[in-house]
Amino acid sequence: MGFGLAKMHHVLSLGRWGAGVKGWAFLSLLLLLPLVAGCGGDRQEDHGDAAASGSGARLQPGEGRQEEGEGVAPDEEEGFSLLSHAMQDSVEEALLGYRSGELKVTGYLFIDPFSEQDVEPCLIFNHGGVDGVSEAVKQRCRWLARQGFLVFAPSYRGEDGGEGEVEVADGEVDDVLAAMRILRHHPGVRDEEFVMIGTSHGALVSVMALERPLGKQLLKGVVAAYGVMDIYRWYQYLVDNGFDVSDPLSVRVYGHGPQDRPRAFARRNAMALVEKLGPAPILLVQGERDRIVPADQARGMFDALRAAGRRGDLLRIYPHGGHGFLFWDDPERHSPSELAETEQAWREILEFLWNALEGKQPAQG
């Protein structure tokens, strides 16, 4: 087991929960799962157009994908290890370690201990950037837990103390699916019901997960917010508009463009996956004023989905939104209309997810 009986008793004696509160059940059930050793961390997500992926417009996709392994070796039946836990904003927050293939990676689990429901649908939140799960993401995940979801936010490989290195929408997909493979057996997850939200880099990760067998099987709905869907057009957009594409991560992953690394581009082009995606509906969320990932990325993807005969997908473009606008909450930095659109977007995201879970056809328009 990942930690000894003494530590288990220490965790259970922290006095965070009262009698009958769901948190007791959460940790008790979690500890019944097979445990492995793991790792840890914490950062800050982009709040605007300044940083889609860390420095400048650093490109967001790496190589080495496992085709059918879903991120876990076939003979592995390991689960989570508990690395730390706390009560934040009346929500249980646990940092967990788990295996993704040969790597030990981490992620954050969020559960509302005061929920009246014993089981809830699982929401996977795939963060943007390449610097781990930020405090802004954690804050939003805690809010989502209070809306009735068991929420898991993976820290991709090379982030937050996890092993490996950032690959950008390649091995990261394996990390997400490896967590889903464990969570599908969690007693707190309702009937293997999964939905997914991804922002920026995480949006591409989410769409790619829907193309994998496990994603096709489990996912009921996917929200992809301001993500790169057509990698070729996006790279050209960056070059034409003077963005720096020569940072070390971009060069390591993409070389000097499609002619230099054709395979790296081809394997991260969401547009090419449209015919292979699972049946779960997709909500594309985009800000019209996004200068990092322009709105034509979402429009082009939506057109491709429609051309493929899919009718359950939605496109929502917010006139005042920029890159990262789902995390805008500072009235000193953003106008009332911008903040109102952020709130509207989250209302529409929740409506979409609950409709998807209930099998309702999304309202078009």
- What pLDDT score was predicted for residue 22? 52
CA 139, CA 134: separation in Å to the nearest integer? Answer: 9
- What pLDDT score was predicted for residue 362? 59
Short-list 213, 206, 169, CA closest to 301 = 206
Short-list 315, 339, 313, 335, CA closest to 325 = 339
CA 164, CA 263: separation in Å to the nearest integer? Answer: 21
> Mean pLDDT, to the nearest integer, of 108-133?
94
Q: Are strands 150-155 and 189-199 parallel, antiparallel or unpaired?
A: unpaired
Match 């429009």 to its residue by tokens: 299
Look at residue 323 and tell me whether its pLDDT is greater than 60. yes
CA 200, CA 292: separation in Å to the nearest integer? Answer: 10
* CATH class, 5-357 region: alpha beta
pLDDT tens track for 54-109? 334 444 433 334 444 444 443 345 799 999 999 999 999 999 999 999 999 999 99
Domain ranges of the chain: 5-357
Which helix (H) or strand (E) segment holds residue 217: the answer is helix 213-218
C-alpha distances out from residue 162 to 95, 267, 342, 363, Å: 12, 24, 31, 40
Q: Are strands 81-88 and 91-100 parallel, antiparallel or unpaired?
A: antiparallel
C-alpha distances out from residue 224 to 201, 227, 281, 332, Å: 10, 6, 11, 27
Asked if 326 and 285 count as a contact pair (C-beta separation under 8 A), the reply is yes
- What pLDDT score was predicted for residue 180? 97
CA 157, CA 102: separation in Å to the nearest integer? Answer: 11
Alpha helices in 18-170 (DSSP H): 22-32, 135-146
CA 53, CA 200: separation in Å to the nearest integer? Answer: 8
- What pLDDT score was predicted for residue 191? 87
Q: Which range is most confident: 32-41, 74-83, 188-197? A: 188-197
By CB neighbour count within 10 A (0-12 exposed, 13-18 middle, 19+ buried), where does 140 fall? buried
Look at residue 155 and tell me whether its pLDDT is greater than 60. yes
CA 165, CA 199: separation in Å to the nearest integer? Answer: 20
Which three-class secondary structure state does DSSP give residue 297? helix
Q: What is the pTM of this model?
A: 0.83
Match 């804050």 to its residue by tokens: 139
Look at residue 37 and tell me whether its pLDDT is greater than 60. no
Q: Of how many residues is the chain composed?
A: 365
CA 252, CA 256: separation in Å to the nearest integer? Answer: 9
By CB neighbour count within 10 A (0-12 exposed, 13-18 middle, 19+ buried), where does 287 fall? buried
pLDDT tens track for 210-235? 999 999 999 999 999 999 999 999 99
Task: At 165, list the tokens.
Answer: 């290195």
Task: At 138, list the tokens.
Answer: 């954690």
CA 319, CA 331: separation in Å to the nearest integer? Answer: 18
